[in-house]
């Protein structure tokens, strides 16, 4: 019998089974009962508290053969198919992969059709903050005049990244972190259903560590069951979650510093054997690196959660690094946080993130051996040691000739028309020749979007420059970068690097640029 993760096995199929989201549930049910059905919903909140779950239940409640009703019956073929994820009219879209021009066109077209069978054609767009500017624009056009049979449900952990123009057109539901008591009760109920004996103390530690997330609490419980079987005590939980961690993370970070890939993989292998959740492992690692930074920066021991031994371990480790090296490692890891969270193969994603961090000092050495002189690319989180240490990388701006003026324009657009600014942001280059500004884009779709907004940009540009400005946009094939070519010719040391080779083999990596 295969083991099914608890979070999947116990996904609520009715509103009544959801915990901690009473306000949202009541609002949705009242709306259904009184027939006030919105065409766009947005579910916001941290991970694992029921955003996707609520969207799916709502889709069922609205489409159920015996609905629209306050609860789906979970018996008709529509409910069953939605639960299984095979209903033709209820589509789940992962925003991160849904960015291409074809997808946007498809979205426009598909909303024009009547549903195949159900009452509504529902699009559940998960991780909505990852949508491209082009996709948002297409959605905005649909939301301005929504076809009556189409319903969008967005879910996001980062509402700040959703354009204001979209937010003003959706019904927004803020989901909350679940309280400790509710989590505890849920864990008890699930243990009972699974025939697992767990003390209240043990489950309380789990619930605390879950930090308000039902999913995280359940994956912790999975790990603990894998370790201690059907009898769980507080001691077991402390062992699994506990202090052994400081040594474990010290070993990991130590080997990142040493560039010791073997030890990194070995340690992660042990973590996998003991059933650890890699997403959480990565978050704990970030926390550990934060503690290292605190200690290295001279913070008093009281600021670091842990025993005196933990603090001593952290201190002696921190002495092996310069502060800027620590910042560099922290920056590299933070950049991969999102990737790890979203990855399907989380162990692999964590391995790659750590190997990358461990390889970084050597990449730098290669670059220096080449004679240096390359400027950090905009997206590089780290800076040369002479720069302000660890200052977060600025968002990449188009390469601008008259950069002062053009960036004033970009800043104005960002304030006044964030959606348009996000297209401009995609430009490969921006040049001002006399009273003409020309943007070039690698993706032709953006040329259309920009030209759609031409009049607005011209008006704002005219204000910014104090003269009449005209705007033009062109598609431009990506050209190989000068540095990229050089990197390909020279650094045989990099090409022979075992880590690079493994990136190349497993992920099809190529050397574009050495930093
Ligand atoms: N409010 C909740 N009540 C009960 N279980 C929940 C709740 N939120 C999340 N879960 C559990 O966590 C899992 C993931 O939930 P999900 O709705 O995908 O979270 P989100 O979309 O907010 O990240 C569900 O399958 C369920 O087991
Ligand atoms: Mg989700
Ligand atoms: Zn039904």
pLDDT band at 397 (very low <50, low <70, confident <90, very high): very low
Q: Where in the chain is the domain with CATH 1.10.8.60?
A: 180-241
Among 223-237, 339-353, 372-386, 491-505, name the one with the lowest average pLDDT: 372-386
At residue 390, the pLDDT reads 35
Pocket probe for ligand 1: among 53, 83, 95, 124, the residue whose CB has the most ligand atoms within 8 Å is 53
Residue 399 has pLDDT above 80, yes or no: no
Residue 444, C-beta contacts closer than 8 angstroms, at least 6 positions apart: 101, 475
According to DSSP, residue 95 is labeled: G
Q: CA–CA separation, 260 vs 253, rounded Å? A: 10
Percentages helix, strand, coil for the chain, rounded to the nearest 5?
55, 10, 35
Residue 282 reports pLDDT greater than 60: yes
Determine the Cα–Cα distance for residues 383 and 391; give it in Å rounded to an integer. Answer: 8
Residue 394 has pLDDT above 80, yes or no: no
CA distance 239 to 35: 52
Higher pLDDT, 108 or 397: 108
Q: Which residue has the tokens 């993989």?
A: 265
By the 10 Å C-beta count (0-12 exposed, 13-18 middle, 19+ buried), 265 is classed as middle
User: What's the CATH superfamily of 399-475?
Assistant: DnaA, N-terminal domain (3.30.300.180)
Give the pLDDT of residue 135.
83
Q: CA 367, CA 373: separation in Å to the nearest integer?
A: 9
The answer to whether 216 and 47 have CB atoms below 8 angstroms apart is yes
| pLDDT for 400 beyond 50 | no
Mutation test residue for ligand 1: of 24, 126, 215, the one with most atoms within 8 Å of CB: 215
* Dihedral sign (CA 151, 338, 272, 351): positive
User: For the domain 244-367, what is the CATH code?
Assistant: 1.20.272.10
Element of type H or E holding 27: helix 22-33
Lowest mean pLDDT among 15-24, 320-329, 386-395, 465-474: 386-395
Could you identify the atom of ligand 1 that is nearest to the CA of residue 54? Answer: 17
Cα(82) to ligand 2 centroid in Å equals 16
- Please state, for a pLDDT cut of 90, what percent of the chain lies above it: 38
Considering the chain, tell me which residue range(s) the CATH 3.30.300.180 domain(s) occupy: 399-475
pLDDT at 493: 57
Instruction: Report pLDDT for 153.
Output: 97
Residue 90, pLDDT > 50, answer yes
| Ligand 1 binding pocket mutation candidate from 50, 159, 177, 219 (most atoms within 8 A of CB) | 50
Residue 416 token pair: 């006044």
CATH of span 180-241: 1.10.8.60
C-alpha atoms less than 13 angstroms from C-alpha of 458 in its C-beta half-sphere: 13
Pairing state between β 121-126 and 231-232: unpaired
User: Under DSSP, is residue 16 helix (H, G, I), strand (E, B) or coil?
Assistant: helix
What is the pLDDT, as a whole number, of residue 445? 65
Distances (CA, A) of 229 to 195, 244, 282: 11, 20, 25
Ligand at minimal distance from the CA of 13 is 1
CA dist 42 → 124, 155, 214, 499 (Å): 10, 6, 20, 42
Among 1-10, 14-23, 425-434, 455-464, name the most confident range.
14-23
Q: Is 154 exposed, middle or buried (0-12, 13-18, 19+ CB in 10 A)?
A: buried
Report d(CA 453, CA 425) in Å as an integer.
14
Model confidence pLDDT, tens digit, residues 314-370: 999 998 888 888 888 888 888 888 888 888 888 899 999 999 888 866 555 555 555
Ligand 3 center from residue 72 Cα (angstroms): 5
d(CA 269, CA 252): 12
pLDDT of residue 478 exceeding 80: no
Per-residue confidence (pLDDT) for residue 487, from 0 to 100: 38
Ligand 1 pocket by Cβ (under 6 Å):
7-8, 10-12, 18-21, 47-53, 155, 214-215, 218
Residue nearest to atom 4 of ligand 1 (CA): 18
Round to whole Å and give the CA distance between 108 and 101.
Answer: 11
- From the CA of 398, how far away is ligand 2's center (Å)? 33
Could you give the maximum distance between any two Cα atoms of the chain, in Å? 77
Q: Using CA positions, which residue lies closest to atom 26 of ligand 1?
A: 11
**Section 210-217 average pLDDT:** 90
H-type helices in 453-491, by residue range?
454-465, 482-489
Helix (H) or strand (E) holding 357: helix 346-369
For ligand 1, atom 20, the nearest C-alpha belongs to: 48
CATH architecture assigned to 6-174 = 3-Layer(aba) Sandwich (3.40)
**Residue length of the chain:** 515
- Give Cβ neighbours of residue 175 (< 8 Å, ≥ 6 apart): 21, 24, 43, 44, 45, 49, 50, 51, 54
pLDDT of res. 43: 98
Distance of CA 237 to the CA centre of its chain: 29
Kindly state the percentage of the chain with pLDDT values over 70: 80
Most confident of 158-167, 307-316, 407-416: 158-167
CA separation for the pair 458, 160 (Å, rounded): 27
Domain with CATH 3.40.50.300 in the chain: 6-174
Q: Residue 42 in contact with residue 128, Cβ under 8 Å?
A: yes
Residue spans of alpha helices (H) in 195-298: 200-209, 214-228, 234-241, 244-258, 261-273, 278-296
Tell me what the pLDDT averaged over the chain comes to: 81
Residue 363, preceding bond cis, omega within 30 degrees?
A: no
Rounded distance, CA 120 to CA 152, Å? 10
Distance, in Å, from the CA atom of 314 to the CA atom of 324, rounded to the nearest integer, reads 17
Q: How far is it, in rounded angstroms, from Cα 469 to Cα 203?
A: 65
Q: How far apart are CA 276 and CA 290, in angstroms?
A: 21
Helix (H) or strand (E) holding 91: strand 90-94
Lowest mean pLDDT among 48-62, 263-277, 295-309, 316-330: 295-309
Q: Specify the pLDDT at position 492.
A: 53
d(Cα 370, Cα 488) in Å, to the nearest integer?
Answer: 12
Is 265's pLDDT higher than 90? Answer: yes
Report the SS3 class of residue 448: helix
């Amino acid at each position: 019998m295969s083991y099914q993760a608890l979070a999947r096995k116990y996904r609520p199929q009715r509103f009544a089974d959801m915990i901690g989201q009473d306000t949202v549930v009541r609002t949705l049910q009242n709306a259904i009962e009184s027939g006030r059905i919105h065409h766009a919903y947005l579910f916001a909140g941290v991970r694992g508290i029921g955003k996707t779950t609520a969207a799916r239940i709502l889709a069922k409640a609205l489409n159920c053969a015996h609905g629209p009703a306050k609860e789906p019956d979970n018996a008709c073929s529509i409910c069953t198919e939605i639960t299984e994820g095979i209903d033709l009219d209820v589509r789940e879209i992962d925003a991160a992969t849904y960015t291409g021009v074809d997808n946007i066109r498809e979205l426009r077209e598909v909303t024009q059709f009547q549903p195949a069978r159900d009452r509504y054609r529902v699009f559940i767009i998960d991780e909505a903050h990852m949508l491209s500017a082009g996709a948002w624009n297409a959605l905005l056009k649909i939301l301005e005049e929504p076809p009556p049979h189409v319903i969008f449900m967005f879910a996001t952990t980062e509402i700040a990244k959703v354009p204001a123009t979209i937010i003003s057109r959706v019904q927004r539901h803020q989901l909350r972190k679940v309280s400790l008591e509710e989590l505890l009760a849920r864990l008890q109920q699930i243990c009972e259903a699974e025939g697992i004996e767990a003390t209240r103390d043990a489950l309380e530690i789990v619930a605390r560590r879950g930090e308000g997330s039902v999913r995280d609490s359940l994956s912790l419980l999975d790990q603990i069951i894998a370790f201690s079987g059907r009898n769980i005590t507080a001691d077991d939980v402390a062992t699994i979650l506990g202090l052994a961690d400081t040594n474990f993370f010290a070993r990991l970070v130590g080997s990142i510093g040493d560039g010791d890939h073997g030890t990194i993989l070995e340690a992660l292998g042990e973590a996998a054997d003991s059933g650890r959740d890699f997403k959480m492992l990565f978050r704990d690692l970030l926390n550990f690196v934060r503690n290292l930074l605190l200690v290295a920066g001279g913070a008093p021991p009281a600021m670091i959660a842990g025993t005196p031994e933990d603090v001593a371990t952290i201190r002696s480790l921190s002495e092996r690094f310069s502060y800027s090296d620590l910042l560099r490692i922290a920056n590299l890891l933070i950049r991969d946080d999102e990737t790890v969270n979203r990855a399907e193969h989380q162990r692999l994603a964590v391995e790659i993130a750590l190997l990358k961090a461990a390889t970084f000092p050597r990449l730098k050495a290669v670059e220096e051996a080449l004679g240096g002189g390359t400027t950090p690319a905009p997206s590089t989180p780290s800076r040369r040691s002479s720069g302000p240490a660890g200052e977060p990388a600025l968002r990449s701006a188009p390469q601008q000739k008259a950069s002062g003026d053009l960036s004033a324009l970009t800043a104005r657009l960002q304030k006044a028309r964030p959606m348009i600014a996000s297209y401009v942001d995609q430009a490969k280059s921006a040049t001002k020749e006399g009273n003409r500004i020309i943007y070039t884009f690698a993706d032709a779709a953006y040329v259309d979007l920009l030209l759609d907004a031409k009049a607005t940009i011209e008006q704002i540009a005219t204000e910014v420059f104090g003269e009449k400005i005209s705007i033009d946009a062109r598609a431009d094939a990506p050209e190989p970068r000068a540095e990229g070519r050089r990197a390909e010719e020279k650094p045989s040391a990099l090409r022979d690097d075992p880590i690079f080779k493994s990136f190349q083999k497993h992920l099809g990596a190529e050397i574009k640029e050495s930093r």
